[in-house]
Chain A
Amino acid sequence: MTAVLKPTLARCLWVAPAFAALAILITVAARSLVGMTPVLQESTLLTVAYIAGGIGFIVGIGGFDYWFTWMRGGELDPNDHSQHGAHSWGDYFKFNTDHKVIGIQYIVFTFIMFLVGGMFAEIFRSELANPGQQVVTNQQYNGLISQHGVIMIFVFMVPVFAGIGNYVIPLMIGAADMAFPRLNAVSFWLLPVAAFTLLSSFMFGSFDGGWTGYPTLSEQSGYGMTLYQLGVQLAGASSIATAVNFLVTIIAMRAPGMTLFRMPLLVWANLATSALVVAATPFIAGAQFMAMFDREMGTHFFTVAGNGDTLVYQHIFWFYSHPAVYIMILPGFGIISEVIATHARKPVFGYRAVAFSSAGIAILGFAVWAHHMFASGMEPWLRVPIMLSTLLIAIPTGIKIFSWLGTMWGGVLRMTTANLFAIGFIFTFVIGGLSGVMLAVVPFDVSITNSYFIVAHFHYVLFGGSIMTIYAGFYHWFPKVTGRMYNEVLGRWHFWITFVAMNLTFFPMHYQGLEGMPRRVADYAPQFAWSNMLISIAAFILGASTLIFVYNMIHSARHGKKAGANPWGGLTLEWMLSSPPPIFNFPATPRVIGGPYRYGEEGAKHAIVPEVEPATVETTV
Chain B
Amino acid sequence: MLRVVRKRGYDAGRDTFDSRRRACSKGLAEVKTIKVLPLAIMGVVVGIVISVLLVITRTLPVQASAESSDIDNLYIFFLGFSGIIFGIVVLFLLVSVYRFRARPNDEREGDNLHGITWLEVVWTVIPFVIVVLCAIGGLMVLRSGDVEAQARTKGQQIHVLGYQFGWKYGYLNQDINLKDQQTLVLPVNEPVIFELESQDVIHSFWVPAWRMQMNATPGQVNEISTTPTKIGTYDIVCAYLCGVGHTGMNTSLPGSIIPKVRVVSKSDFDAWITQQKAAAAKAAESATAETTTGSAG
A interface, CB within 8 angstroms of B:
131, 137-139, 141-142, 208-210, 214, 216-217, 220, 304, 308-311, 344-347, 349-353, 375-377, 383-384, 387-388, 391-392, 394-395, 398-399, 401-403, 405-406, 408-415, 423, 426-427, 430-431, 434-435, 437-438, 440-444, 446-451, 485, 511, 514-516, 518-526, 562-569, 575-579, 597-603, 608, 610-611, 614-618, 621
Contact = CB atoms under 8 A, between A and B. Distances in A.
A606 to B, nearest CB: 12
Given A349-B115, A410-B31, A220 B14 contact: no
B110 A426 contact: no
Contacts, number: 343
Interface string B104-140: 0010111111111001100110011001101101110
A413 B97 contact: yes
Given A413-B102, A450-B213, A521 B112 contact: no
Contacts of B137: 441
Interface in B222-261: 222, 235, 237-248, 250, 252-254
B206 interface: yes
B106, B113, B116, most chain A CB atoms within 10 A: B113
Contacts of A451: 206, 239
A138, A410, A440, most chain B CB atoms within 10 A: A410
B180 interface: no
Contact of A446 (B21, B85, B213): B213
A576 B9 CA distance: 10
Nearest to B68: A447
Contacts of B35: none
Given A308-B219, A399-B123, A515-B208, A353 B241 contact: no
B38 interface: no
A441 B134 contact: yes
27 contacts: A131-B254, A138-B247, A208-B244, A217-B243, A220-B201, A345-B24, A375-B214, A377-B222, A387-B138, A403-B120, A434-B78, A437-B131, A444-B78, A450-B206, A450-B213, A450-B239, A450-B240, A518-B206, A518-B237, A521-B250, A564-B12, A577-B11, A600-B111, A601-B112, A610-B5, A611-B5, A614-B3
B61 interface: yes
Nearest to A447: B211
Nearest to A435: B82
B41 interface: no
Interface residues on B, range: 35 or more
B59 A514 contact: yes
Contacts of B61: 515-516
Given A437-B78, A444-B74, A568-B17, A392 B131 contact: yes
A395 B101 CA distance: 29
A568 B17 CA distance: 6
B127 A412 contact: no
Contact of A394 (B86, B131, B204, B237): B131
B135 A603 contact: no
Nearest to A415: B101
B51 to A, nearest CB: 11
A54 B176 CA distance: 60
Given A208-B243, A409-B96, A414-B102, A514 B113 contact: no
A569 B10 contact: yes
B204 A450 contact: yes
Interface string B57-101: 011110000010011001100100010011001101100110011
B10 to A, nearest CB: 4
B267 interface: no
Contacts of B246: 138, 142, 520-521
A496 to B, nearest CB: 14
A440 B131 CA distance: 10
Contact of B214 (A446, A562, A564): A446
Nearest 3 CB-CB pairings of A with B: A564-B13, A600-B112, A346-B110
B120, B124, B240, most chain A CB atoms within 10 A: B240
A410 B28 contact: yes
B264 interface: no
B268 interface: no
Contacts of B245: 138
A346 B109 contact: yes
A195 to B, nearest CB: 23
Given A346-B113, A441-B137, A599-B112, A413 B100 contact: yes
Contacts of A141: 247
A394 B22 contact: no
A411 B108 CA distance: 9
